[in-house]
Amino acid sequence: MLNVSEVKGVGPKSLSLLNKLGIFTVEDLVMHYPFRYDILKRTDLSQALEEDRVIVDGKVESVPILLRFKAGLNKLNFRLVTQAGVVGVSIFNRAFMKSNLTIGTSVIVIGKYDRKKNIITASEIKFGLLNQQEKIEPVYHCTSGLSNKSLATYINTAILMNGKDVCDYIPAVYQDKYHFSNKRTALNIVHNPPTMEKLKEAQIRLKYEELFMFMFKINYLKETRKNEKIGIERDLKEEHVINMFSLLPFDLTGDQKNAVWEIFQDLNKKSRMNRLLQGDVGSGKTIVAILAMYLNCLSGYQSALMAPTEILATQHYHNVKELLKDTDLEIELLKGSQTKKEKQDIYRRLIHGNIHILIGTHALIQEEVTYQNLGLVVTDEQHRFGVNQRALLNNKGIMPDILYMSATPIPRTYALTIYGDMDVSIIKEMPKGRIPVKTFVKSDSEMKEVLEIMNEELKNGHQIYVIAPLIEETENSDLTTVLSLKDKMTLAFGKKYQIDIVHGKMASGVKDLIMGEFKQNKIQILISTTVIEVGVDVPNASMMVIFDANRFGLSTLHQLRGRVGRGSIASKCILISSVDTKRLEIMEQTTDGFEISEEDFKLRGHGDLFGTKQSGDMSFKIANLRQDYKILVQAKRDSLEYFLDRSSDNDDLKKQLIESINSN
């Protein structure tokens, strides 16, 4: 791939600026697409209203006169001949343009028109004329020192360069099928659009290409996995599952049972399981995952359960222990805070097969952890294995089945893409007896009322979560902090109740200790940042108060709210905010995670839905999943057809696509 420094005119200085924009190769450069287009339409001055923003083009008719004022201000005045006659032009602080504005120079002038004086006070002067009626101007993300204009120049130089620096990834069949122009032409149009119509066509072509490549990758991963015969083939019997169900303290919901049966079938199959278990917070995914681990252990393999935080890992550990207490499985928790000796002991027992289920964070799949025969990895909450991590597991010569749990309800568009290479089990039905959490949006001025409701809840013997966006005060923010709330809550309730805090900066041992005390009801009010967002399960906590609720995305609020209403007590969630209440009211109206994520998706775009970790997977340069759904569906179909078409297996393009998947 050609380095961008090969582009004529790019010197060391502009090279580092281009790098700053994430542009390293010629391909990156030509794919630095405009984020917006300005449409310059010639104004009919005779129709222009006073003070309107006008755009005219014409030729300079008089030598510009430069006037200088105090404080370094200056102004250029000249006359311009336009199609509609002569008009005066003034522009401030562009003395440097004087030498370029010679008589006869063609310019486009944008500014405010004073009809009485027949003068335009220009905000901008560009060289050239408006072709036809309008000029479509690409606007790029720039960085200081690198202007829109110089970027455009480099991009256009790069487009004109010969050679194989820019690949065309659409197979000829589909180029023909959709009458697409070639890549170079499309790039040229996107960076220099002659008309809106042509621009749209070129954009569709480039979006299709991007989505085709993406879906080809997904299809490739899915199909190769289907055909891999390297998974573990187990011989589990249906009785195993039925017996297991009868050991549970409650009946599983229909959806939970279905999920268990799907996993059961995957485990018995020779191919590797790659399954997503999706269900709203509190829908009972963890039980399903524990049963999957139990089945895996029954067939003689070890299981690992990976959680995003230690608090959560600890909680899973207690749940697994409790649920499997009547079995003879050895269950262990691996934590950062353990001593070296404790860890070494775990590693030793693990390698000898004396631990059957290991629970922890990412540490579970790191170098020094070696399993005797790891058969199943369960990961909680959006921890998708990157290709690298999968390789890490593979390098140990083991091919465990993988079960992902996610509480993020995924809109249809997404399910097709990021999880497109997985099989999915969905739990929609909530366990019986759940009472939906009542949610209220309150303004800062209603604090007294909020405290009264809290008091009522505490008097009934229940516990409360209080959430703030920040831990401690910072200079440039007046957001509510955990520490300031601790003072306030102590003032209001400290005489009768125990109040404590947890946040991400605490040592994990301390966090666990406090969470443990909250669970045992030794603490009644727990103040926290969003560290408790995922998974913590305290059924006696029946109320949550979220300060500066407008600071959070709806999906985050939904996850937070999922911490209450987990038992049989009617629970409440209070969102405190004096702004952005319209958006927050969606939380009052529904407790359906799917609906909320759809709203979030509409309001915030896809960027925030999965947090930044996922964004690498999902960042498209030109396609937009929401707007380009139809193209996505088409690209998905075509790329699968292309992948499965054996006659194209020797095509360079196909090899290249596959190589690019395996190399990252």
Query: Which one of ligand ADP, Mg ion, none interacts with residue 231, CB within 5 to 8 A by kind?
Result: Mg ion
Closest CA to 79 of 97, 94, 101, 96: 101
When asked if residue 282 is in the footprint of ligand ADP (CB under 6 A), the reply is: yes
Question: What is d(CA 622, CA 154) in angstroms, rounded to the nearest whole number?
Answer: 19
Residue 225 binds to Mg ion (criterion: CB under 5 A): no
Of 79, 191, 285, 606, which one interacts with ligand ADP (CB under 6 A)? 285
409 binds Mg ion (CB under 5 A): no
User: Taking the complex as a whole, how short is the minimal distance between the CB of residue 270 and Mg ion, in angstroms?
Assistant: 6
**Which residue number, 207 or 462, has a Cβ lying nearer to ligand ADP?**
462
Residue 231 interacting with Mg ion (CB under 5 A): yes
**C-alpha distances in angstroms, 160 versus 15, 170, 187, 621?**
19, 20, 10, 21
Q: How far is the CB of 362 from ligand ADP (least distance, A)?
A: 19
Shortest Å distance, C-beta 379 to Mg ion: 17
For ligand ADP, the closer CB: 110 or 560: 560
Going by C-beta distance under 8 Å and a sequence separation of 6 or more, which residues neighbour residue 611?
A: 382
309 belongs to the binding site for ligand ADP (CB under 6 A): no
Contact status: 112 vs Mg ion (CB under 5 A): no
Q: How far is the CB of 430 from ligand ADP (least distance, A)?
A: 9
> Is 411 among the residues that bind Mg ion (CB under 5 A)?
no
Range 18-23 contact pairs with CB under 8 angstroms and sequence separation of 24 or more: 18/146, 18/154, 20/143, 21/141, 21/142, 21/143, 21/146
Q: Does 409 bind ligand ADP (CB under 6 A)?
A: no
Closer residue to ligand ADP (CB): 291 or 625: 291
The nearer residue to ligand ADP, 1 or 247, going by C-beta atoms, is 247
For the residues of 268-327, what is the DSSP string, one character each? HSSSPPEEEEEE-TTS-HHHHHHHHHHHHHHTT-EEEEE-SSHHHHHHHHHHHHHHTTTS
| Length, in residues, of the chain | 664
For residue 520, count other CB atoms closer than 10 A to its CB: 10
Q: Which residue is nearest to ligand ADP (CB)?
A: 284
Alpha-carbon distance 201 to 210, whole Å? 14
Q: Is the Cβ of residue 181 or residue 271 nearer to Mg ion in the bound state? A: 271
CB of 405 to ligand ADP, least distance (A): 7
Quick check: 171 binds ligand ADP (CB under 6 A)?
no
Q: How many angstroms separate the first and last alpha carbons of the chain?
A: 15
Contact predicate 58/83, CB 8 Å: yes
Chosen residue from 336, 420, 431, 494 binding ligand ADP by CB under 6 A: 431
Sole window of 106-114, 186-194, 261-269, 441-449 interacting with Mg ion (rule: CB under 5 A): 261-269
For residue 231, the minimal CB distance to Mg ion (Å) is: 4
Site for ligand ADP in 473-512 (CB under 6 A): none
Single residue of 112, 269, 321, 343 touching Mg ion by CB under 5 A: 269
What is the C-alpha to C-alpha distance for residues 189 and 168, in angstroms, rounded to an integer?
15
* Nearest Cα to Cα of residue 627 among 609, 601, 608: 601
Pick from 130, 190, 267, 281 the residue near ligand ADP by CB under 6 A.
Answer: 281
519-558 binders of ligand ADP (CB under 6 A): 537
Per CB under 6 A, 250 contacts ligand ADP = yes
- CB of residue 323 vs Mg ion: minimum separation in angstroms? 23
Q: Which residue has the tokens 């568009």?
A: 413
* Structure-token match 């319209």, residue found: 582
Shortest approach of ligand ADP to residue 463 CB, angstroms? 15
In angstroms, what is the minimal distance from the CB of 404 to ligand ADP? 13
Collapsing DSSP to helix, strand or coil, 136 comes out as: strand
Answer yes or no whether residue 287 interacts with ligand ADP by CB under 6 A: yes
Instruction: Tell whether residue 252 is a contact of ligand ADP (CB under 6 A).
Output: yes
Counting Cα atoms < 13 Å in the Cβ hemisphere of 177 gives 9
Cβ 61 vs Cβ 78: under 8 Å: yes
Q: Which residue has the tokens 């004073």?
A: 114
Residue with tokens 């998905």: 636
Does 566 contact ligand ADP by CB under 6 A?
yes
Tell me if 286 contacts ligand ADP by CB under 6 A: yes
Q: With CB under 5 A, what is the number of residues at the site for Mg ion?
A: 3
Whole-angstrom distance, CA of residue 48 vs CA of residue 109: 14
Q: Could you list the residues that contact Mg ion (CB under 5 A)?
A: 231-232, 269
Q: Could you list the residues that contact ligand ADP (CB under 6 A)?
A: 250, 252-253, 256, 279, 281-287, 407, 431-432, 537, 566
